[in-house]
């Protein structure tokens, strides 16, 4: 077997392996259904405000990630931890130096969904395929 055939065979095997590894990619969409009572709706509105603030703080943290002290001083973290009533970010996230806000934002949104339910609302979840979907 010459080198060109061997190289071609290896490339073909690698290409097929990569294609086989590309399974479907899913995303979960959440719908917040409003509470039945007026107090529940007010509670839910406050949850949305806190969630938006939390997500914005995550984004600020990502923007300030490489600025030592930038994020810490901008929200008053100092040397302790801050979880703002259980929302989103904690000291270990800052120490990992992962500048992507994704994990932090996901924590904010998960906290918001749980708080929305505690306000009397419901959450509907729908999983959808976004890439490499089976065509039926």
Look at residue 53 and give its three-state secondary structure. helix
**Which pLDDT value is given to residue 120?**
97
**Which pLDDT value is given to residue 23?**
84
**Which pLDDT value is given to residue 62?**
86
The answer to the question of residue 66 being in a domain is yes
Judge residue 7's burial from the number of C-beta atoms within 10 Å of its C-beta, 0-12 exposed, 13-18 middle, 19 or more buried. Answer: exposed
The answer to the question of residue 17 being in a domain is no
Per-residue pLDDT at 74 exceeds 50: no
Q: What distance in Å separates the CA atoms of residue 87 and residue 20, rounded to the nearest whole number?
A: 39
Whats the size of the chain, residue-wise? 136
The answer to the question of residue 5 being in a domain is no
Q: How many CB atoms lie within 10 A of CB 41?
A: 15
Q: What distance in Å separates the CA atoms of residue 92 and residue 42, rounded to the nearest whole number?
A: 33
Higher-confidence residue of 90 and 101: namely 101
**Which pLDDT value is given to residue 63?**
84
Asked whether the beta carbons of 78 and 72 are under 8 A apart, the reply is yes
Q: 12-56: per-residue pLDDT in tens?
A: 665 555 555 678 889 999 999 999 999 999 999 999 999 999 999
pLDDT band at 65 (very low <50, low <70, confident <90, very high): confident
Mean pLDDT across the stretch 78-85? 42
pLDDT band at 77 (very low <50, low <70, confident <90, very high): very low
Per-residue pLDDT at 76 exceeds 70: no
The answer to the question of residue 51 being in a domain is yes
The answer to the question of residue 16 being in a domain is no
Element (H, E) at 115: helix 102-118
pLDDT band at 85 (very low <50, low <70, confident <90, very high): very low
**Which pLDDT value is given to residue 78?**
42
Mean pLDDT across the stretch 117-124? 97
Q: Domain range for residue 47? A: 25-131
Enumerate the β-bridge partners of residue 124.
31
Name the domain count of the chain: 1
């Amino acid at each position: 077997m010459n080198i060109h055939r061997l190289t071609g065979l290896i490339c073909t095997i690698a290409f097929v392996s990569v294609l086989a590894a590309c399974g479907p990619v899913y995303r979960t969409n959440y719908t917040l259904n409003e509470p039945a009572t007026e107090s529940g709706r007010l509670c839910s509105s406050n949850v949305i405000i806190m969630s938006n603030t939390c997500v914005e703080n995550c984004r600020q943290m990502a923007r300030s990630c490489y600025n030592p002290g930038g994020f810490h001083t901008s929200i008053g973290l100092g040397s302790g931890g801050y979880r703002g009533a259980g929302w989103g970010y904690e000291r270990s996230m800052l120490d990992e130096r992962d500048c992507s806000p994704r994990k932090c934002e996901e924590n904010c949104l998960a906290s918001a969904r749980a708080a929305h339910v505690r306000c009397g609302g419901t959450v509907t979840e729908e999983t959808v395929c976004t890439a490499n979907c089976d065509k039926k």
